Chains A and B, each alone.
Chain A
Amino acid sequence: KAGVTQTPRYLIKTRGQQVTLSCSPISGHRSVSWYQQTPGQGLQFLFEYFSETQRNKGNFPGRFSGRQFSNSRSEMNVSTLELGDSALYLCASSSERRVGEQYFGPGTRLTVT
């Protein structure tokens, strides 16, 4: 099976802009979770989507949003970018049979200038 894929791999944006990141899960996995990874804060949970519905949400402001499509692909959007949003954004997919067991994509490195 192909692994989790994310596009784009690298992105440079300016403060105030918005950005959309994409994640394609492992075939058959219907859950997609998003994480922000920074040197200072580590890995922080953003949200999880399952069957096109947000199932769990972390403690991030409303500027961070997401959605999931019927083929389980997910997108994450960040509006009004701030310098502090510079991070590696990782998505992870998991199957219903083994909830919690997550497989990560390679990440999108976002730099906000």
Chain B
Amino acid sequence: GENVEQHPSTLSVQEGDSAVIKCTYSDSASNYFPWYKQELGKRPQLIIDIRSNVGEKKDQRIAVTLNKTAKHFSLHITETQPEDSAVYFCAASFDNNNDMRFGAGTRLTVKP
């Protein structure tokens, strides 16, 4: 089955700096890669996703890149703000179904 690895497990940046979180997946058939943000005590929220027919997607300060050949995808947050502090999860799903496999999460801390 699909296995998703996520790095780093913790990341601390200064406000205004960029943050990058990387994930690798094992199943080349995976074709949907979402990213979720989970604040303390709250539900995971979908913040951006990418499907395998594109290599990059941007939404304001957030971008995701996908390298299908290398089987890795990354989340980029620019101009970080303290409210970006949360745990971020990457995930991959196979064949457009809802059997989602998650990475272990990255705890991002943005220091003011």
A residues apposed to B, CB below 8 Å: 31, 33, 35, 42-45, 48, 50, 55-56, 58-59, 90, 92, 94, 99-107
Is B101 an interface residue, CB under 8 A from the partner?
yes
Which of B54-62, B64-72, B76-84, B89-97 is the interface stretch?
Answer: B89-97
B residues apposed to A, CB below 8 Å: 1, 32, 34, 36, 42-46, 49, 89, 91, 93, 96-105
The 5 closest A-B pairs by CB, nearest first: A56-B99, A100-B32, A43-B102, A104-B43, A48-B98
Partner of A42, one of B42, B43, B96, B102: B102
Contacts of A33 in B (CB 8 A): 98-100
B93 nearest in chain A by CB position:
A100
CB pair B45–A31 under 8 Å, yes or no, is no
What distance in Å separates the Cβ of B50 from its nearest Cβ neighbour in chain A? Answer: 11
9 sample A-B contacts, Cβ–Cβ < 8 Å, listed by A number: A42-B89, A42-B102, A42-B103, A44-B102, A45-B99, A48-B98, A92-B98, A94-B98, A99-B97
A44-B101 Cα distance, complex, nearest whole Å: 7
A72-B101 Cα distance, complex, nearest whole Å: 23
CB pair A58–B99 under 8 Å, yes or no, is yes
Partner of A90, one of B32, B43, B49, B93: B43
A41-B46 Cα distance, complex, nearest whole Å: 20
Known contacts: A56-B97, A56-B98. The answer to whether A101 contacts B34 by CB under 8 A is: yes
Known contacts: A101-B49, A105-B43. The answer to whether A55 contacts B97 by CB under 8 A is: yes
